[in-house]
Amino acid sequence: MLFDLKEKYPAYYRYYGRRIAKRLSPSLSKIFEEEYINYSIDKEILNVTTKQASDKTYILNPNYKKHTIEIGFGDGEHLISKAKNDESTHYIGCEVFINGLGKVLKRIKEENIYNISLCGLNCLYLLNSLENRSIDDIFIINPDPWEKKRHFKRRLINHDFISLLYKKLKINGSVSITTDSISYFEHMSEIIKNNDIEFKYCDIRALNSDDYLFNISKYQKKGILKGRKIHLIHLKRL
């Protein structure tokens, strides 16, 4: 199903970076074929995003009072542990990297996790299709740093993106972003300082090793092993 949608709507799955690292194993391909349709919201998002629908809003599952999004979840360590520890919240994991989606789909099946929905589209389409003030928390754990100056424009987090996240948060909703890139951290801090948006609360600092968001993903762990600091941007909506 994912591959059919990708072929039909390539623009909605596009972003700067790799989408697949290696061929999927036969068992992961089988899971995609049989199960992606049961856990993914791609079809619904595409239905409201593309011109077929007059109402451009994706209605979140009303069985849950709280909805959390993780963007670029990679291998899904943080997404899965949050979802398992908080079964009354609906978690939407958005990731364009197919191997990551496959790994998480496999774990969802094997561990009978019911409160995660997956989205393989570029997160901009997911966010734009959601009702304003509908999301409780948004996590972005170590977004691609794009360190070279000529690649800065590829960075996911920019002024417009922060405004979009803010719009989608409920009052008191929060955004948490971590990074091991000093230049990305400075870039994001500048955006927050110079943004016209007023936040209820901003926590911008280096994480300590006992902070809950420290050492919680594959990419973060690599940075820590290289001796890099992990910085946090935590924002709460007014």
Ligand X SMILES: C[S@@+](CC[C@H](N)C(=O)[O-])C[C@H]1O[C@@H](n2cnc3c(N)ncnc32)[C@H](O)[C@@H]1O
**Alpha helices (H) in 76-230, listed in sequence order:** 77-85, 98-110, 123-129, 159-168, 182-193, 218-225
Q: Does residue number 223 form part of the binding site for ligand X (CB under 6 A)?
A: no
Cβ-contact 40, 118 below 8 angstroms: yes
Q: Does residue number 180 form part of the binding site for ligand X (CB under 6 A)?
A: no
Crossing angle, helix 98-110 and helix 26-39, to 10 degrees? 80
Q: Does residue number 72 form part of the binding site for ligand X (CB under 6 A)?
A: yes
How do 231-237 and 169-179 pair as beta strands? antiparallel
CA 153 to chain CA centroid, Å, is: 19
42 vs 144 by CB, closer to ligand X: 144
State the nearest-atom distance from the C-beta of 94 to ligand X, in Å. Answer: 5
Known catalytic residue at 144? yes
Structure tokens at 107: 């774990």
Q: Cα–Cα distances in Å, from 28 out to 19, 77, 104, 219, 234? A: 15, 18, 10, 22, 35
Piece of 33-41, 44-52, 92-100, 193-201 that binds ligand X (CB under 6 A): 92-100
Q: Does residue number 233 form part of the binding site for ligand X (CB under 6 A)?
A: no
State the nearest-atom distance from the C-beta of 139 to ligand X, in Å. Answer: 9
Q: Does residue number 139 form part of the binding site for ligand X (CB under 6 A)?
A: no
Which is catalytic among the residues 75, 86, 137, 144? 144
Q: Does residue number 94 form part of the binding site for ligand X (CB under 6 A)?
A: yes
Quick one: which of 27, 36, 21 has its CA closest to 119?
Answer: 36
Q: Does residue number 172 form part of the binding site for ligand X (CB under 6 A)?
A: no
State the nearest-atom distance from the C-beta of 95 to ligand X, in Å. Answer: 5
Q: Annotated catalytic sites, by residue?
A: 144
Task: Summarize as ranges the residues that interact with ligand X (CB under 6 A).
Answer: 15, 17, 71-74, 94-97, 100, 122-123, 141-144, 156, 217-220
